[in-house]
Amino acid sequence: MDARQQEKEFLAAYDPRAFDPIAVTVDVVALTLREGGLHVLAVRRGGQPFAGEWALPGGFVRAGRESLDEAAARELAEETGLDAAALGRVHLEQLASYGRPDRDPRMHVVSVAYLAFAPHLPDATAGGDAAGADWLPVQAILPAGQPETGPSRPIEQGRRTGTYGGGTGRRPVPSDVLAEPAAPAPGGHGFAFDHDRIVADGLERARAKIEYTPLATAFLGETFTISDLRAVYEAVWGAPLHAGNFHRKVLSVPGFVESTGETGSRPGSRGGPRARLYRAGDARLLHPALLRPDREAAVR
């Protein structure tokens, strides 16, 4: 009997029920800028377990019918109303896998989490069995006493530290601080399951990736000003950046942005000329990297 026939007979007799059951889900940490601040997409669970609590958009992978990437894109589309064409402009990457046996009270469920961000994502629309959906400001899910992660303007006067200035003492939120949100969902819990950990990991991934890749431009439209790009970094990093230093740094990185030769429709700050418009360049990595202010100070 040849090897192919042996394999065929083996598969015919194979019984997957001989093994303990395990399920696979996808969960999506979707980030976007709304009203100048960083927001994360969350849904209200419509059924048990954790009914009425906030959770990340996600669900079970349709076994035998879709890949992990397809499942993540489907779940994101259901909660945002994006069609296939609009999903094409969303940056979607696999974040991490979470498989602690007790993370889901129903059974052993392994979740493959994804990180997504794009500009101008629409209002959330509850899909599937969700009771509601909304974009939550990132600072609203931080525990009490932790620094906010929101945009603020650079300090134009006074002592500054680091490449970008802005010696505020703010630091990125560590990945282990999101044990409870500042405004807990009904029942006194934070995010359902272990989604607080997944949100924290997604935020830290986004903060790190815009240091050494040009993915900050994925939060913006096709054309943008350097001030628009700086607002992304301020929102994601949660720290003010010195405008002049940031401008010089961005233009010194080969392939980060390229000029369109046009200017924006709004006048510049303090009545100056209209700001120049740029588009994303062809760089895949930023060299030199744009370090977060606290990291920049640490390496000096």
Structural contact between residues 82 and 116, judged by C-beta atoms closer than 8 angstroms: no
pLDDT in the model for residue 296: 64
pLDDT for res 142: 58
287, 249 contact by CB (below 8 A): no
Residue 220 tokens, joined: 């913006």
Q: Which pLDDT does position 258 carry in this prediction? A: 97
The per-residue pLDDT for range 214-264, each reduced to its tens digit, is 999 999 999 999 999 999 999 999 999 999 999 999 999 999 999 999 998
What does the chain come to in residues? Answer: 300
Q: Which residues of the chain have pLDDT under 70?
A: 84, 128, 142-190, 267-272, 296-300
Please choose, from the candidates 39, 12, 9, the residue with its C-alpha nearest in 3D space to the C-alpha of residue 199. Answer: 39
Cβ-based neighbours of 116, under 8 Å, separated by 6 or more? 28, 29, 30, 31, 72, 76, 90, 91, 92, 93
Nearest to 41 by CA among 62, 26, 27, 61: 27
Contact 167, 160 (CB under 8 A): yes
CA 215, CA 217: separation in Å to the nearest integer? 5
Quote the tokens at residue 128: 């599937």
The pLDDT value given to residue 2: 86
User: b/e for 42-80, b at 16 or more Cβ within 10 A?
Assistant: bbbbeeeebebbbbbbbbebeeeeeeeeebbbbbbbbbb
Q: Evaluate whether 141 touches 177 at the Cβ level (below 8 Å).
A: no
Are 220 and 239 contacting, i.e. CB atoms less than 8 angstroms apart? no
Q: Which residues pair with 278 in a beta bridge?
A: 224, 259
Q: What is the reported pLDDT for 147?
A: 42
Question: What is the model's pLDDT at position 259?
Answer: 96
Q: What is the rounded CA–CA span in Å between residue 11 and residue 197? A: 39
Strands (E), 52-207: 54-55, 58-60, 91-98, 109-117, 130-137
**Cα(32)–Cα(122) distance, rounded to whole angstroms?**
10
